[in-house]
Homo-oligomer: A and B are copies of this chain.
Amino acid sequence: PFNNPLSSFSYGMLGSRRSRSLVVVKAEAQSINPEIRKSEDKVVDSVVVTELAKPLTAYCRCWRSGTFPLCDGSHVKHNKASGDNVGPLLLKKQ
C-alpha cells in the first residue's frame, strides 16, 4: 500500500443526502523515493572519498536519478513538476 500515492490520503463525504458534499482530504506522511531499490529496507550508499575519479562528483538527493546514487540532472524536472527546490551533494577533491 505504501507504493500507491493514493493510499496516503484519506477522504470523506458529509451531507450528501441533501445534495451537498464536503470533501475532506487529509495528508499523511509521503514517501520521497518512488522507485529506487525498493527491495532494500534502507537505501544507504558509501563513497570512499580517496577513490573519487573526478575533481567534482554530484550525488543525487532527489531520488529521481537514472544513475542513482549519482546525480543525472533529474532534480530539474522534479523541481519543475512539484515546485520543489532540491539538488545534489557535490563532492570536491579540492
Q: Mark A70-87, 1 if CB is under 8 A from B, else 0.
A: 000001001101111111
The answer on a CB contact under 8 Å between A59 and B8 is no
Q: In the complex, what residues of B have CB within 8 A of residue A89's CB?
A: 44-47, 59, 61, 69, 89
A69 to B89, CA, bound (A): 8
The answer on a CB contact under 8 Å between B27 and A16 is no
The answer on a CB contact under 8 Å between A11 and B23 is yes
> Which residue in chain B gives the minimum CB-CB distance to A40?
B85
Chain multiplicity (copies): 2
The number of residues on chain A lying at the interface, defined by a beta carbon within 8 Å of a beta carbon of chain B, is 60
Q: In the complex, what residues of B have CB within 8 A of residue A92's CB?
A: 46-49
Q: Which of B21, B45, B90 contacts A21 (CB 8 A)?
A: B21
Q: Which residues on A are within 8 Å of B, measured CB to CB?
A: 1-3, 5-6, 8-9, 11, 13, 16-17, 19-21, 23, 25, 27-33, 37-38, 40-50, 52, 59-63, 69, 75, 78-79, 81-94
